[in-house]
Amino acid sequence: MSLKAFHIVFVAASVMLCLVLGAWAYGRYQQAGIVADLGWSIGSFAAAVGLIGYGWYFLRKLKNISYL
Amino acid sequence: MEIPYTYKPRPDTGLYNAKVGIWLFLASEIMLFGALFSSYILLRVQSPEGLWPIVEGGWPSGLLNIPIGTFNTAVLITSSVTVVLAWAALKMNNFAAFRRYMVVTLVCAFGFLGIKSFEYNEKFTHYELRMTDGSAHTGHLEVNGKHPGFWDFGAIYNLERLQSESVTEVKFTFDPPKPKPGEKQEAHAHETKTIAVGDIAKLRTFTPSTHTFFGIYFVITALHGLHVLGGALVLGYFAFPGASMWKSNPEQFTNRIEVAGLFWHFVDLVWIFLFPVVYLL
């Protein structure tokens, strides 16, 4: 597996982490009502979207490099 | 004698030798970290219900600084992006861009370690306090007007030391109480009280011996930190003194960066799993 393929795995794991963190922060907001937790949750979901966009850009930029 | 298959693929594996080597090494690393993760999960699920320190064997959830941990996670994700862009820059024959991305990677690596040492400091200056009336608290200690600190190990206190130094009272700043499930968080100021040493049953800092959680937390994060330090040193070597190979053998140099990048990604991936398990669970 090349660095290109491993990087895609890494970006996918990072997106999952951002989604988990976003859901966790939203749960905390619902429980304790702290507005900062809501901002944290929105920020985490936005980071997940940003990482998906970056992954798309990365695949296009390195389309000539092997996955092996 | 020339070392074979440093950049040409070996016919039987289809890969250059260093790539096979790094994946074998990473397989052993997965077993190492996997054993530690399994230990953590088993200890976590077998701990009694309730929060430490009120329940003595309970789990101390919420004692780690989650905003700082989140920031450190973002720092490591950024470093993985820049290391792969550095490798891509070499593939596109752009050495100047390679060096720029490597410098950003190194800044992120040492930034991560700096922030982690700040977190360690926070733990070594945080105290568990048990009173003779059975109540248990966490917070920060002040002895004779001084806050014992991480960089001065001689200033870390326990009950025996307070007694041997004939200290009669200390100031203790209590952590704000945690809201119960479904309860709104109230704004709590940190309350500081003067406590007679005779009323203290137990006093100790958040060190590995204090609780199973701190034992495994320090082992996993310190081992991960050593991996970050090792990876940063290798990347620093390739960014500066080792970069002379780019002129003599650019293909082999590019492969070296790929191998170092694979290790760096593994280290960052460990943190991606470590952060939610240790900080959020």
Instruction: Quote the pLDDT of residue B145.
Output: 80
Q: Which residues contact B127 (CB under 8 A, 6 or more apart)?
A: B138, B139, B140, B141, B157, B172, B203, B204, B205, B206
Longest CA span, chain B: 76
Q: Which residue in the set B23, B73, B84 is minimally distant from A7, CB to CB?
A: B84
Q: What are the extents of the domains in chain B?
A: 17-123+210-280, 127-205
Amino acid of residue B173: T
Q: Which residues contact B182 (CB under 8 A, 6 or more apart)?
A: A31
B26 touches chain A (CB under 8 A): no
Pairwise CB contact (< 8 Å): B84 & A68: no
Instruction: Quote the pLDDT of residue B55.
Output: 79
Pairwise CB contact (< 8 Å): B74 & A47: yes
Residue B51 gets which letter from DSSP?
A: B
Helix (H, G, I), strand (E, B) or coil at B6: coil
Q: For chain B, report the end-to-end CA distance as a whole number of angstroms.
A: 54
Helix (H, G, I), strand (E, B) or coil at B202: strand
B177 touches chain A (CB under 8 A): no
Instruction: Quote the pLDDT of residue B73.
Output: 97
Helix (H, G, I), strand (E, B) or coil at B66: helix
User: What number is the ipTM of this complex?
Assistant: 0.95
Which residue is closest to A4 within chain B, CA to CA?
A: B84
How does pLDDT run across A15-61, given as a tens digit for each residue? 999 999 999 999 999 988 889 999 999 999 999 999 999 999 999 99
Instruction: Quote the pLDDT of residue B54.
Output: 77
Instruction: Quote the pLDDT of residue B209.
Output: 87
Residue numbers in A near B269 (CB within 8 A): 9-10, 13
| Average pLDDT along chain B, 281 residues, taken 10 residues at a time | 85 92 97 96 87 79 90 97 97 96 98 95 89 91 78 76 91 81 61 93 90 93 98 98 95 96 98 94 81
Instruction: Quote the pLDDT of residue B187.
Output: 56
Based on DSSP, count helices (H) and strands (E) in chain A, helices before strands: 2, 0
The DSSP-derived string for B97-161 is HHHHHHHHHHHHHHHHHHHHHHHHHHHHT-EEEEETTS-EEEEEEEBTTB---TT-GGG---HHH
Confidence (pTM): 0.91
Cα of B232 vs its chain's centroid, Å: 15
Amino acid of residue B239: A
CA B128 to CA B52: how far, in whole Å?
Answer: 10
Instruction: Quote the pLDDT of residue B184.
Output: 61
CA distance A33 to chain B (A): 6
Cα of B38 vs its chain's centroid, Å: 18
Instruction: Quote the pLDDT of residue B122.
Output: 86
CATH code for the part of the protein at B17-123+210-280: 1.20.120.80
